[in-house]
Structure 1
């Protein structure tokens, strides 16, 4: 019996082989490109998240010091770094609305005794704001030229960028002080202060529920400040990569007022 010699592939067999090979190569390439793209997005998202967490840490640590005064033990109700409508921690809606009172907004202002000399000076004014996709920090101001230091867009204040708009755009920066609480130390006083027929109820203790005590009354109110900070950002060259972080910060120095 004579063996037949192999003379090669037919044209049909060759075309089938090439087709199968192209399909395999195409599938492998697709898997590789998809994996590379997803890995790149994951790395970019991780880097953006790290940038925002670093920014959050800077803001939280600074806000926490609001109202600090080296001489607080002398007379805490006369703290120059926590004067209502002057240096006390305040939230403003935005640069466009820089002085309106608000519990939530894109700008926060505060002061503290950074040099421990007990005196309010230019380098004791701080704050953060969102300006055209960039977060800025107030480094100092002018305590002589300005009677108030709770204005979010004062010409005398020095604001510096703390984020790079070329790398990422901050789409939202919100400071929410609504978790703060205020206690009127005159309560319980045995008087129906809010006129609802109930003496010394919880609403009477809350300074936010009732007007502040009248000037000259000698009453003392204690305000504990808590601020929820929310940041959202996206990569400038790839808007699909977005990250959002939030954190609550408790101000260590309570605001004491004597009326």
Structure 2
């Protein structure tokens, strides 16, 4: 009845070597799992940091682009000529880029500026308001605290200086540090609608009479009475890094086409 039961002395278990090998293999597998887990955690952390920085930069870029795009807007209730637009007046309301507090950047040069001033008809009443609904605006890079600043109540800041007026930070200095903000007008263009007119312009380096190149009023200075139309395209470049981790950096660029062209009757 009990003939198939083996005595305890004949049962076999793991030897010490087998047990040690099993433990070693188990530790190797466990180490691999822990390594993969830590790698995923680190990768997720870096992704979250990068996403946070990019979100902040893109939000600021969106604000600047949408506002700059409005530069020169005029409600124009009296349907006056475009050349009479009070929001495109040189040294006052015209969109202007500055390389320092007072030096402006030429529209047709590949030169970066750190500050941009402009105006538009915010309330659509057709006139430039300097009190109440102030209609002078601007953005600039503050190197002292690494922020992007936005002009507020800037009736004191016509397009002749970037040092006056009231500014407040658009970026959070406790969260991110802005390392660079530039505005570049190199893609802007100016067309002289009065050219070619059958005469060789005095400022034209090409001696060819009635040169087609005279239509570019950046290259050839227009003469009195000529009508020019200037389109503005501004390349905005924004660079920043996280304040908590300076190794997390990002750089974004966007070109904004100002919707309102500058029409001038040259004096």
Unaligned 5+ runs, structure 1? none
Which residue matches 2:246? 239
Which residue matches 2:3? none
Match of 1:81 among 80, 87, 105: 87
Match of 2:217 among 180, 193, 207: 207
Structure-2 separation of matches of 1:117 and 1:38: 53
Which residue matches 2:194? 186
Count of aligned pairs: 247
Deviation at 1:108, TM superposition (A): 0.9
SS in 2 for 1:126: strand
Deviation at 1:129, TM superposition (A): 0.8
Match of 1:160 among 159, 168, 171: 168
SS in 1 for 2:54: helix
Which residue matches 2:104? 101
SS in 1 for 2:124: coil
Match of 1:31 among 30, 33, 36: 36
Kept in 2: contact 1:87–1:150 (CA 8 A): no
Higher radius of gyration, 1 or 2 = 2
Kept in 2: contact 1:92–1:108 (CA 8 A): yes
Which residue matches 1:6? 12
Which residue matches 1:255? 262
Which residue matches 1:224? 231
Match of 2:121 among 113, 121, 131: 113
Q: Does 1:141 align with 2:154?
A: yes
Which residue matches 2:23? 18
Structure-2 separation of matches of 1:117 and 1:32: 62
* Cα RMSD, aligned residues only: 2.0
Q: Which moved more, 1:241-250 or 1:178-187?
A: 241-250
Structure-2 separation of matches of 1:235 and 1:77: 46
Which residue matches 1:67? 72
Kept in 1: contact 2:96–2:159 (CA 8 A): no
CA shift in 2, pair 1:200/1:104, >3 Å: farther
Kept in 1: contact 2:98–2:116 (CA 8 A): yes
SS in 2 for 1:105: coil
Deviation at 1:170, TM superposition (A): 1.6
Structure-1 separation of matches of 2:137 and 2:243: 27
Kept in 2: contact 1:168–1:236 (CA 8 A): yes
In the superposition, the TM-score normalised over structure 1's length comes to 0.87
Q: Does 1:46 align with 2:81?
A: no
CA shift in 2, pair 1:70/1:199, >3 Å: same
Structure-1 separation of matches of 2:38 and 2:13: 40
CA shift in 2, pair 1:246/1:195, >3 Å: closer
Q: Does 1:56 align with 2:61?
A: yes
Which residue matches 2:108? none
Deviation at 1:195, TM superposition (A): 4.8
